[in-house]
Amino acid sequence: MEKVIDIEDRIPSLRKKRKRKANKKFLLLVAIFLLVLLALLYFQSPLSDVHKISVNDTTLNDREVYVERSGLYVGQSFWGFRTKDIEENILSITGVKEVSVRRDNWNDVSITVTEWQPVAYIENKVQYDLLLENGDRMETDDPEALLHAPILSGFSDPAIIERMIEQLQELDATVFTLISELHYKGQNKIEAFMNDGYEVHATIHGFADKMSYYPDIIAQLPKEEKGILDMEIGVYFKTFTDYYKEPEPDVLEEDKPVGKPVEIEGANIESESGQEGESE
């Protein structure tokens, strides 16, 4: 037979349960109130302000340029901006390839900028602009912003410039630093003036591949006089004296004496004039 419990005996336990539930609700409301109060105090205090804006080391633009264009400033609300909007602002700056903006340590903002690499100087009327790897041009107040970078003259067609950039990027670093100037002569032809005193006549197409042989070729040339390497089709060499001397008026071009080729690994280098050689 089941034991019957009088309702009066159950009332104290019911009251205790109700009291515990009421206490829990009260504590929950107090906790929510305190959190809201703390949040209000935080957003109204300097603790929610931006304390520091940092930018990684950059070459094309100073840190101040990126901070100014970002629209951020010390003292503004730490939560009052969208990082995506800041990134779009900075991406509009010439020379910026990628950018990342993030909040750090509750009060700091970190900006990480990746810039397009400069590959050369390019002639622009009375000055020289930096030519970036994406084809953009950028004015610079620093004439030594690029060390060992060639100067491009006579380049105006964007498609020609793009092909020249591709060739420069493929060059071996040792050869790249030897190039002082590149002059565009039309019909895909260029003249390269080298820091070691030689001159190279070539075409844009295949320029990087042919110039990979340059150090080996120069090492095997006679040292008496520098001159011009013609790499347009084969690879030929003439001294400056022979190249720039006045032609004899009574001698036809085909009757001129032909110099003896100098054998070079990978190419035939003609020491004086006109005989055609071969190149790999």
pLDDT for the residue numbered 100:
96
pTM reported for the whole predicted model: 0.70
Domain that includes residue 263, residue range: 118-270
Q: Is the pLDDT of residue 162 over 70?
A: yes
User: Do 207 and 110 have their domain in common?
Assistant: no
Least confident of 146-150, 163-167, 175-179: 146-150
The alpha-carbon radius of gyration of the chain (Å, integer) is: 37
> Domain total for the chain?
2
Q: CA–CA distance from 169 to each of 28, 165, 207, 223 (Å)? A: 65, 6, 11, 30
Considering only residues 8 and 278, tell me which one the structure prediction assigns the higher pLDDT: 8
Do residue 166 and residue 241 come from a single domain? yes
Whether residues 182 and 64 fall in one domain: no
Within-domain flag for 246: yes
Query: Do 94 and 130 sit in the same domain of this protein?
Result: no
Residues 132 and 238 in one domain: yes
Within a domain: residue 205?
Answer: yes
Query: Does one domain contain both 258 and 137?
Result: yes
Q: Which pLDDT band holds residue 202 (cuts at 50, 70, 90)?
A: very high
Instruction: Please write the tens of the pLDDT for every residue from 23-77.
Output: 777 788 888 877 877 767 666 677 778 999 999 999 888 899 999 999 999 999 9
Position with higher pLDDT, 277 vs 254: 254
Secondary structure class of 208 (helix, strand, coil) = helix
Looking at the fold, whether 166 and 88 belong to one and the same domain comes out as: no
Final residue in a domain of this structure, among 115, 139, 168: 115
Please indicate, yes or no, whether residues 243 and 128 belong to a single structural domain of this protein: yes
Phi, psi dihedral angles at 144 (to 5 degrees): -115, 30
For residue 34, the surrounding DSSP H or E stretch is helix 7-44
Q: What is the CATH number of the domain that holds 68?
A: 3.10.20.310
What is the reported pLDDT for 5? 53
What's the CA gap between 223 and 2, in Å, rounded?
121
Average pLDDT over residues 190-217: 94
The whole-number pLDDT of residue 224 equals 82
Last residue of some domain: 115, 142, 163? 115
- Is residue 82 domain-shared with residue 129, that is, in the same domain? no
Same domain, 69 and 204: no
Judge whether 26 lies within some domain. Answer: no
In the prediction, which pLDDT does 211 show?
95
Q: Could you tell me if residue 187 is inside a domain?
A: yes
Q: Is residue 78 part of a domain?
A: yes
Phi/psi at 25 (5° precision): -65, -40
Query: Do 108 and 136 have their domain in common?
Result: no
Residues 104 and 225 placed together within one structural domain of the fold? no
Q: Domain for residue 196, yes or no? A: yes
Residue 145 pLDDT class (50, 70, 90 cuts): low
Check which CATH number belongs to the domain holding 124 and give it: 3.40.50.10960
Q: What percent of the chain has pLDDT over 90?
A: 50
Residue 179: half-sphere exposure toward Cβ, Cα within 13 Å:
29
Q: What is the pLDDT of residues 71-85, one digit of tens each?
A: 999 999 998 899 999
Quick: pLDDT tens for 221-243. Answer: 888 889 999 998 888 898 888 88
- Whether 155 maps to a domain, the answer reads yes
**Residue 190 within a domain:** yes
Q: How far is residue 10's CA from residue 205's CA, in Å, rounded to a whole number?
A: 98
